Amino acid sequence: MNEAGLHAKLGAAGIDGIGELDTSAKDPFVVVEADALVAVMTFLRDDPDCAMEMLHLVTATEREACIELAYHLCSYQHHHSFVVKVICPRPEGGNHDTWHPEVPSVAGVFDAADWHEREQWDLLGVVFAGHPDPRRILLPEEWIGHPLRKDFVYPSFLGDVPLELDATPMYERGPDWTPPSSEPRPAGEPLIQPPSPPSDRPHAGGQAPAKDEAPADAADTGKEG
């Protein structure tokens, strides 16, 4: 079945919030509403004609106007693949610090989504509501910020440890060497900057990202080690 057939099948499933198939793209995709995502994924997995056994990739992409989530699915039985997208429009003045788009987690549908969604939270700050284990995956728990956002600022502290961004090599630092002074980043400067003062962002320091994601889970299951 090709993408058009899959889209028709999906449209006939009676799920609200399924958009048109974009056939101009190289991999045709369909945009669905965030609320419909879990239902769409479950349908695509369970319907015998679709039979998408595998979730290949979850990708969040930050654009000017939105953060766009792409879910790449494929079926081994039928040798076809499909792309489902969710668009989270950027609110007025939404930036790295204030805006964390929220989409429902599909970790309950595909186990593979577990780590992929953790990675997207880690690097882009997308909140996956209902994720069973919403921790960072690649960066340290104490890390502040989401580095793949375009307006990410390099943090000045990792937990209690000040991060040095001085390019002076170790062997050239004399006994009197001190870390460069910390000054806030002026607007419009390039990305890599001298350290800025410690952030007072709500979920800095490895706390759970959102209140409805059961923050107690991560701390209580002893996974902090």
> Which CB sits closer to other proteins, 14 or 105?
105
Q: Are 158 and 142 in contact (CB under 8 A)?
A: yes
Does 217 sit near other proteins (CB under 8 A)?
A: no
Helices (H), the chain: 3-11, 37-46, 113-124, 215-220
- Judged by beta carbon, residue 99 or residue 154, the one nearer other proteins is 154
In the complex, the smallest distance separating the C-beta of residue 49 from other proteins, rounded to whole angstroms, is 17
Nearer to other proteins, 54 or 87 (CB): 54
The one among 19, 42, 115, 204 contacting other proteins by CB under 8 A = 115
- Of residues 16, 20, 92, 111, which one binds other proteins by CB under 8 A? 111
Please check whether residue 146 is in contact with residue 95, taking contact to mean a CB–CB distance below 8 angstroms. Answer: no
13-52 footprint of other proteins as x/- string (CB under 8 A): ------------xxx-------------------------
Closest by CA position to 90, among listed 101, 81, 77: 101
Which one of 1, 11, 28, 53 is in contact with other proteins (CB under 8 A)? 53
Q: Which of residues 191-210 bind other proteins (CB under 8 A)?
A: 191
Asked if residue 123 binds other proteins (CB under 8 A), the reply is yes
Pairing of strands 157-158, 80-89: unpaired
By the rule CB under 8 A, 163 interacts with other proteins:
no
Nearest Cα to 143, choosing from 120, 127, 161? 161
List the structure tokens of 32.
């669905």
Contact yes or no for 181/195 (Cβ under 8 A)? no
**Secondary structure letter of residue 211 according to DSSP:** G
Q: In angstroms, rounded to a whole number, what is the distance separating the alpha carbons of residues 48 and 58?
A: 23
Is 219 a binder of other proteins (CB under 8 A)?
A: no
Q: Which is nearer to other proteins, 8 or 191 (CB)?
A: 191
3-state helix, strand, coil in the chain (%, to 5): 20, 20, 60
Report the interface residues with other proteins, using CB under 8 A: 25-27, 53-57, 59, 61-63, 70, 72, 76, 79, 83, 110-112, 114-115, 123, 136-140, 147-148, 191, 223, 225
